Chain A
Amino acid sequence: MIKKKYASVASAVADIPDGATVMIGGFGASGSPIELIHALIDQGAKDLTVINNNTGNGEVGLAALIGNGQVKKMICSFPKSSQSRVFPKLYEKGLIELELVPQGTLAERIRAAGAGIPAFYTPTTVGTVLAEGKELRAFDGRDYVMEPWLKADYALVKSEVADPFGNLTYNKTARNFNPLMCMAATTTIVQTRNLVAAGDIDPETVVTPGIFVNRIVHVPKPVHEDILIANGRSYP
């Protein structure tokens, strides 16, 4: 029997060990699995490498995870959004590592990992400092940079609708990196606003097929990072 449903966010993240590589879906506030991140803060795993487009905002969600000293390295494309304060402070003190990856390369490295492709060539960064030390190869007379796949032990993902098989749909631009991360992690943990019966999602509209999902937690009223920040909240 397929048993992917977990009773709580706490039980779903309980086994994430120190030193794990964790992908966290979302682009800024949209699609960010705040409840799963806060459960990871409660759980306390340390020395994490976290992959996300950004570094969180305010003192909730990803920023709170970083602020709690659980992250040794961030892999992201844009670490300094307007409300990003926690990461910059630690980075300036040399207390956290940063691997800067252009946004499209970040997405494709994650996709490649999920697709079993160990590396690919991209025009992005050719002729810039971000290509230094990387393999270049010409195709049809133009140079491309080799980029490796990016895997993770765990992915924390937010969906709009899930069924017991792990088939997922998302809401608008909250989709972003979430479907890619589902494919690239050994264990994908999803928090979903709606949990429906098998067959309630039209198979034609499934965005993430359930094979890419391992654990599902029903979080019917997820908090939103922007609202938490507007209300001056911090976590824990």
Chain B
Amino acid sequence: MSSGWTRDEMAARAAQDIPDGSYVNLGIGIPELVARYVPEGREFIYHTENGMLGMGPPPAEEERDLDLMNAGKKYVTAVPGAAYFHHADSFSMIRGGHIDVCVLGTMQVAANGDIANWSTGAPGAIPAVGGAMDLVQGVKHIYVITQHTTRNGDPKLVERCSYPLTGPGVVSRIFTDLAVVDVTPDGFRLVELAPGISFEEVQARTGAPILPPL
């Protein structure tokens, strides 16, 4: 059994690559954990699609405000200096290139930066896209946090996505339980290995060639 990074360690590693003062949108799941690992001396301002900048952590049950939710429909708080706005302004921030970093989970990400995280395309499934297609087209840097493979061991980092795309050629960096991988014009390139993980192991569990670190 190999080691590698836990979900929290993946989130902490991703947080290391977010510059101080960034406006950040975090997807649902492991990406939400990034907010727990803001590096010492840095400040991030969190955007949520449903109309808020300056989102804070979840409230205590007795302090929750029923009108204060995040895009995952969970109760949150507002930090001092927060701002509320309507949906068109919120997506102007996204589409207009004003948000610096978006961290998303995914089903598949391809060596050309394509991402597929909204639908398996299975017949009869109810399609639900939310704001994912706006985010991947509009935010300056799209980071992905994901387990390196599915529960069945199939690669999630692939040559070409087999699921319907959320957006083409948009992902710049991927944080998995095994490694940090960049998407470059030449395909995947290893940035860093998780502790106890070898390059060969990462390559064996990836569905496309990985270039060695520069």
Contact = CB atoms under 8 A, between A and B. Distances in A.
Contact of B87 (A29, A122, A124, A177): A177
Contacts of B85: 175
Interface residues of B, number: 42
A74 to B, nearest CB: 11
Interface in B64-113: 65-71, 73, 78, 84-88, 90-91, 94-95
A125 B68 CA distance: 29
A134 interface: no
A77 B129 contact: yes
Given A27-B69, A91-B126, A100-B128, A177 B86 contact: yes
B39 interface: no
Interface stretch (B13-21, B161-169, B181-189): B161-169
Contacts of B138: 104, 123-124
Interface in A188-220: 207
A19 interface: no
B127 A100 contact: yes
Interface in A20-44: 27-31
Contacts of A174: 67
Interface in A98-113: 98, 100, 102-108, 110-111
Interface string A75-118: 00111111000011001100000101011111110110000000
B167 A28 contact: no
B167 A29 contact: no
Nearest to B76: A173
Interface stretch (B4-12, B48-56, B150-158, B201-209): B48-56
B131 A104 contact: yes
Contact of A78 (B48, B70, B128, B164): B128
B50 A176 contact: yes
B130 interface: yes
A236 interface: no
A17 interface: no
Contact of A79 (B52, B73, B128, B167): B128
Given A172-B68, A173-B51, 7 more contacts: A92-B126, A102-B133, A104-B90, A128-B166, A173-B68, A174-B67, A177-B87
A207 B86 CA distance: 9
Interface in A118-152: 122-130
B124 interface: yes
A65 B48 CA distance: 28
Nearest to A82: B73
B32 interface: no
A175 B66 contact: no
A88 B124 CA distance: 10
Given A172-B65, A226-B66, A179 B86 contact: yes
Given A31-B67, A81-B73, A103-B49, A108 B88 contact: yes
8 contacts: A27-B73, A102-B132, A107-B86, A128-B168, A129-B164, A173-B51, A173-B68, A174-B67
**4 shortest interchain CB distances as A-B pairs:** A104-B91, A104-B134, A127-B168, A107-B87
Contact of A128 (B69, B87, B165): B165
A226 B85 CA distance: 22
B134 A103 contact: yes
Given A29-B69, A124-B95, A127-B168, A175 B128 contact: no
A5 interface: no
B146 interface: no
Contacts of A81: 73
Nearest to A123: B137
Nearest to A108: B88
Nearest to B55: A173
Contact of B88 (A79, A102, A107, A226): A107
A167 interface: no
